[in-house]
Amino acid sequence: MSFIESLFGLAGKVALVSGASRGIGSTIAGGLEQAGARVVGVARSPRPLSFPEGVEYRQADVCDGSQVREIVEDVFERFGRIDVYVHAAGISLQPTTPDRQLADFAQTVDVNLKAAYACAVIVAEPMRRAGGGSVIYITSIGSMLGFPDNPGYVASKGGLRMLTRALAVDFGKHNIRVNAVAPGYVRTAMTEASFTDPLLHEQRRRHTLLGRWGEAADVVGAVIFLASAASSYVTGQDIVVDGGWTAKGLV
Ligand code: NAP
């Protein structure tokens, strides 16, 4: 095995990725598999035709603990380990009517934050029994900055950023590392409306230092790093993958 393979290779590791039916989660699932891991993707939709070949796919709602537990137990029984959990499941609801605001806030927090905690607690047990693991939360630049008209999203991602630290503290004694990857604007179904609106597209593009929107593939390297031995002494951290959005001073 080469030095690079020993650092970044994931051969022998088992990874579970939620939010895997499309976008960033699907690309992460494919990327982890390419790096050598056995990967199980999870989302509510039926397996999409475009889903990476060679990656197992299971249908479940991350807000339903019993569905998640059933998958985790099954994976652990078949493979004897779960090394990596990526919580890419997330929602960003468009503003609707004032009477929906509280319900939308609660629903967003349920998927983006509460389920992220519940899933980590469920995977932590098999990780602990196998000697350790890596939990990776997909947060957002919205975990650090205010954005308009979507308080549930910003609050849930800000909470997820701090949950990363809280669980890094609680799980460290079990050799379970907990880190976050915070993407900037990435072209997916979630951002399709702003990507296709010429004004919003340009506004977001110009705010980056690299002068372009992100692609889902831009997020994969940071996740492989956090899943692999290369990050064996890294926990409780954010890796910001935003084309320089948060580093920019003068807009
Ligand atoms: P997306 O294309 O809308 O994908 C969201 C994924 O989450 C889908 O696979 C969806 O699958 C899944 N999901 C939603 N609710 C779920 C639930 N209750 N149970 C299980 N799966 C659920 O969005 P994306 O852009 O790839 O976003 C992926 C993650 O990156 C999210 O956490 C998002 O907040 C974060 N992020 C995205 C951007 C961006 O610019 N795109 C920037 C920063 C952070 P089903 O609908 O099939 O369940």
Identify the pLDDT of residue 97. Answer: 87
Strands (E), the chain: 14-18, 38-43, 56-59, 84-87, 133-138, 176-183, 238-241
H or E element: which one contains 242? none
Identify the pLDDT of residue 242. Answer: 98
Identify the pLDDT of residue 128. Answer: 98
Tens-digit pLDDT profile for residues 213-241: 999 999 999 999 999 999 999 999 999 99
Ligand 1: distance of its center to the CA of 150 in Å? Answer: 15
Distance of alpha carbon 178 from alpha carbon 85, whole angstroms: 10
In the block, residue with structure tokens 């690079």: 4
Tens-digit pLDDT profile for residues 142-174: 999 999 999 999 999 999 999 999 999 999 999
* Residues β-bridged to residue 178: 135
In the block, residue with structure tokens 């609660």: 106
Ligand 1: distance of its center to the CA of 87 in Å? Answer: 9
Tens-digit pLDDT profile for residues 68-96: 999 999 999 999 999 999 999 999 998 88
Share the mean pLDDT of the chain: 97
Identify the pLDDT of residue 1. Answer: 87
Identify the pLDDT of residue 197. Answer: 98
pLDDT-derived band at 59 (thresholds 50, 70, 90) equals very high
Identify the pLDDT of residue 118. Answer: 98
Ligand 1: distance of its center to the CA of 140 in Å? Answer: 11
- Which are the contacts of 219, defined by CB distance < 8 A and separation ≥ 6? 24, 27, 28, 138, 181, 183, 186, 241
Q: Which residues line ligand 1 (CB under 6 A)?
A: 18-25, 43-45, 61-63, 88-92, 111, 138, 140, 183, 185-186, 188-191
Task: Give the nearest ligand 1 atom to 110 CA.
Answer: 18
The C-alpha torsion from 62 through 108 and 242 to 222, rounded to 10°, is: -20
Tens-digit pLDDT profile for residues 25-45: 999 999 999 999 999 999 999
**pTM (2 decimals)?**
0.98
Reported residue count of the chain is: 251
